[in-house]
């Protein structure tokens, strides 16, 4: 992680995510004043742009993250526990482990950008919950198994809801703030969170490849 630093319906999942983004709960009843800028009227997954309840650039980022999440969930539709546990070879990760890894990655960036903590400052609870899926590899192959699809979807949903709650409290100035000491060079919060989106794209290809191997097996 330091280096990178239920059956379900696709549209219903996105609808739930979008409802959070739209501020249908009391949490977003009084959004940041900076959210009064241009709003994308269409609440559709393929409309990338500002979203109600967020500052303009954060809303655009949310729309991209929602789109990518819909893509990552499509190939896991209907997978059984044995499918999710399938390991192709000794160097592979299971689909279940990769889904949990995506949640762990997002949690990492929450801790870093929302709480201002580095890896070494993680709480015991966060380490217990996320250190193994963060690193994947042999420990993940031995321990992340026996869970049904709902287990992984719930983890992803729980982490994403917290991200949206925190995004709603912040503005574009925060998003553009630059960390001059980031591991790969000066990087703003926008790039860090876009990396969360891009990271899902990367594992999407791996998940599809493993699923094709399951079908052949």
Query: How much is the pLDDT for 20?
Result: 37
Query: How much is the pLDDT for 30?
Result: 34
Query: How much is the pLDDT for 93?
Result: 93
Query: How much is the pLDDT for 33?
Result: 36
Residue 12 to residues 98, 104, 162, Cα–Cα distance (Å) = 22, 23, 19
CB-CB contact of 52 with 113 (8 Å): no
Query: How much is the pLDDT for 42?
Result: 59
What 8-state DSSP symbol labels residue 31? -
Query: How much is the pLDDT for 213?
Result: 87
- The residue whose two tokens read 């655009």 is 60
Dihedral sign computed on CA atoms, order 2, 166, 163, 126: positive
Single pTM value for the model = 0.78
pLDDT along the chain (217 residues), means of 10: 41 42 33 44 81 96 95 93 93 94 96 86 90 92 96 97 98 97 93 94 90 78
What is the rounded CA–CA span in Å between residue 23 and residue 30? 9
Query: How much is the pLDDT for 168?
Result: 98
Count CB-CB contacts under 10 A for residue 78: 9
| pLDDT tens figures, 31-71 | 343 334 455 545 788 999 999 999 999 999 999 999 999 99
187 three-state secondary structure: strand
Count CB-CB contacts under 10 A for residue 202: 12
What is the rounded CA–CA span in Å between residue 166 and residue 112? 12
CB-CB contact of 51 with 59 (8 Å): yes
Decide which of 3.40.50.300, 1.20.120.450, 1.10.10.10, 3.40.50.10420 is the CATH code for 10-216. Answer: 1.20.120.450
């Amino acid at each position: 992680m330091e280096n990178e630093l239920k059956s379900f319906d696709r549209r219903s999942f996105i609808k739930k995510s979008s409802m959070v983004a739209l501020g249908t709960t009391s949490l977003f009843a009084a959004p940041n004043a900076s959210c009064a800028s241009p709003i994308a009227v269409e609440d559709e997954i393929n409309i990338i742009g500002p979203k109600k309840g967020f500052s303009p650039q954060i809303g655009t980022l949310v729309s991209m993250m929602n789109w990518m999440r819909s893509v990552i969930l499509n190939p896991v539709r209907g997978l059984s526990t044995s499918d999710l546990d399938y390991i192709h070879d000794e160097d592979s990760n299971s689909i279940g482990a990769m889904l949990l890894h995506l949640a762990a990655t997002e949690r990492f960036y929450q801790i870093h950008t929302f709480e201002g903590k580095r890896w070494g400052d993680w709480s015991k609870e966060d380490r217990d919950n996320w250190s193994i899926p963060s690193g994947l590899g042999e420990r993940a192959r031995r321990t992340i198994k026996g869970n049904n699809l709902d287990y992984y979807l719930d983890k992803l949903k729980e982490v994403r809801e917290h991200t949206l709650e925190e995004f709603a409290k912040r503005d574009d100035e925060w998003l553009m703030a630059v960390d001059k000491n980031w591991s790969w060079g000066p990087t703003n919060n926008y790039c860090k969170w876009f990396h969360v989106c891009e990271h899902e794209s990367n594992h999407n290809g791996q998940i599809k490849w493993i699923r094709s191997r399951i079908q052949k097996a």
